Structures are given as structure tokens and as C-alpha cells.
Amino acid sequence: MDSTTARDSTTETTGPLLTKSCKLYFFIFGSLLSGFLIVIGLFGNCLSLTILGKERKRSSTIQALCLLAVADTCLLLAYCPFPIMDTPWARKTNSIGIFAAVYMFDVARICNQVSALLTMVLMWQRYVAVCLPHKAKQLCTVRIVNWISAFFVVAAFVFYFPKFFLYSIKIRDNGVFYTVSNPLMRNEYFQMVYLVILNYLVSYIIPVVCLLSMSVAILRSLKSHNGNIGASVSSQHARKDLTKSSIAIVLIYVLCQSVQPIRRILMWVYDPYMKSSSCGGIDGINTIALSEVTTNKTRGLDPVDATETIDLRKE
């Protein structure tokens, strides 16, 4: 059982005094670097929406890319409080850190799950267009993409909704905020079934398996089409771009999403993890934020290649 989640949480961010080197570490990596990457990610997503926004109603692939950019933008906005937490001003008061840890982190999880599901929608559209072209007209439509995306948004919210009731925020007599674990959090069955098994099944295992399976099928289909003499030059280039973007999305997603299971293992090894990460140690929040922003930056470059695959999908 994960002792880091089983114990009663009465965390105060004021805790032990940090040395100058620790403060400098948190400020550089937690605030400056994470904040810089968030700004770049937001710029990349806005650029993608600007380029592809006019074409989203003409292609289900472009619509899926636009929805993915919106989800990634929401994810970046949800992570915005975390770089602020490591500024000298925010460390003088623990209110920002407490509220961000209790609420905004779970909001970011919802956005991250929506982003993962929309990535699956995008890959599914490509899979149908490449591997099942005879069904493309029925399945590759903007309306179907919108309905599936709306369902995934609601499903992600419902799945992560219980996490908003795991902790309560209290105020001490001296005005310091702290968190207390609710009874649901101290239930061992809830921890094992929901927080461990279901969470990693939904957020990591299922998306990774689906994306890898569809990517392998796409690569095999494209390889078998290389000998097609009647294929036009533009179609061949589009297939190459499709292969590159598909592989890039899958590899980046698997790499970035693998941070969370690794972080969970480190939390078990370095128990209590809050003490181990208090001064430049296993800074899990900043690591995850860094990986998510990196994912969004790369996704922001992908739609440019995807526009070249529209002709291939229509054939």
C-alpha cells in the first residue's frame, strides 16, 4: 500500500526554512524554466489554432487537431499556478501552494486525460483513413469527432471528480492554511482500486496500448501501399508526413506519460516523499509540468505536417 497517500495530510508549506541554494533551485527550475515552457506551449497552440482554424470544418483530422490544441491550452493554463508557487513572493504565504495542490493539480489531470483521449481520436481518424479507406466517409466526419470528443470530456470529468473530495483545506489560528485527508482518502480499498489500478489503467495503459496498436497498423498499411504504382507523388509525400507525425505523437506521448509511473515508484522508494523533495530532490510537480509542456510544444508543430495529409485522406 502506498504510505504516501495513506497517511493523514496536514501539510504546511512554511515548514523548515530553505537555504539560499534551495530557493535558487526552486526559482530557476520551478518558476523560470517551467513558466518559460508554458508560455512557449501557449504560443504554439495559439499558432496551431490560427493556422488550422479556418480548415477545421472541412476535415475531421483538422478538427481533431484543433480540439487537441484547445485541450493542451487548458492543460497549460491549469499548470500556471505551479511556477508561481516557487517564486519568493509565493513562498512567503502558503495559500497559493495549498489551493494549487488540492484543486488545480486535479484540474490539470482532467485536462491531461482529455488531451490523451483526443490524441486517441486523432490517431483513430488516421487509422480509419489509412487502414479502412472504404469506411472513411462514414467514420471520418467532423460531427463524429465532435460527439466523441464531447463524450470523452464528460467521461474524464466524471472519472476524476472524486479526487476533489480527497482533502479539505483548514486554517490555523495563526492564519496558515493546511490540508486534512478526508475519510475517503484513508480507505485502503479506494486507494488501491481507484487511485492506483483504475488511474493508471485509464491514464496510461489503455491510451499507450491503443496508440501503439494503431501506429503499428498505420505503418504496416503505408508500407504495403509503397508499391502502388498508381499513387500520385503528392499522396506519397502525404503518406510520409503522416508516418512521421504519427510516430512522433506516439513516442512523445509515451515518453511524457511515463513520468507519472516513475514518479509513483520514486514516491514509494523515498517515503515520505514530501521530505525527500523539499530541497531540490524529487520535484515531481515541476517534472510533470515540464513533460506536459514539452508534449504540447511538439504537438504545436504537428498540425503543420497534418495539413499535408488532407489530400491523402480524401482519396
* For the chain, percent of residues with pLDDT exceeding 70: 68
User: What are 203-213's pLDDT values in tens digits?
Assistant: 889 998 998 89
What pLDDT was estimated at residue 285?
A: 42
What pLDDT was estimated at residue 113?
A: 93
What pLDDT was estimated at residue 23?
A: 73
Residue of higher predicted confidence among 164 and 101: 164
C-alpha pair distances (Å), 86 with each of 22, 83, 186, 283: 10, 6, 29, 11
Residue of higher predicted confidence among 306 and 100: 100
Q: What are the cell numbers at 103?
A: 484543486
Phi/psi at 196 (5° precision)? -105, -65
Extended beta strands in the chain, E state: 167-171, 177-181
Residue of higher predicted confidence among 219 and 70: 70
Q: How confident is the model at residue 313 (pLDDT cuts 50, 70, 90)?
A: very low
What pLDDT was estimated at residue 312?
A: 36
User: In this model, does residue 298 exceed pLDDT 50?
Assistant: no
User: In this model, does residue 91 exceed pLDDT 90?
Assistant: no
Instruction: Compute the average pLDDT of residues 291-301.
Output: 48
User: In this model, does residue 33 exceed pLDDT 50?
Assistant: yes
Question: Looking at this protein, which amino acid is placed at residue 173?
Answer: D
Question: ω into residue 81 within 30 of 0, thus cis?
Answer: no
Q: What are the cell numbers at 225?
A: 501501399
Catalogue all structural domains in the chain, each as residue range(s) with its CATH number: 3-314 (1.20.1070.10)
Q: What are the cell numbers at 38?
A: 508554458
Q: How far apart are CA 98 and CA 82, in angstroms?
A: 11
HSE value, Cβ hemisphere, 13 Å, CA-based, for 20: 0
Buried b (16+ CB within 10 A) or exposed e, 170-195: eeeeeeebbbebeeebeeeebbeeeb
User: What are 148-157's pLDDT values in tens digits?
Assistant: 999 999 999 9
Residue of higher predicted confidence among 227 and 294: 227
User: In this model, does residue 123 exceed pLDDT 80?
Assistant: yes
Instruction: Compute the average pLDDT of residues 288-315.
Output: 43
3-state secondary structure 133-157: HHHHHHHCCHHHHHHHHHHHHHHHH
User: In this model, does residue 63 exceed pLDDT 80?
Assistant: yes
Instruction: Compute the average pLDDT of residues 82-96.
Output: 70
* For the chain, percent of residues with pLDDT exceeding 90: 17
Tell if the pTM clears 0.85, that is, is over it.
no
User: What are 161-176's pLDDT values in tens digits?
Assistant: 998 988 888 888 877 7
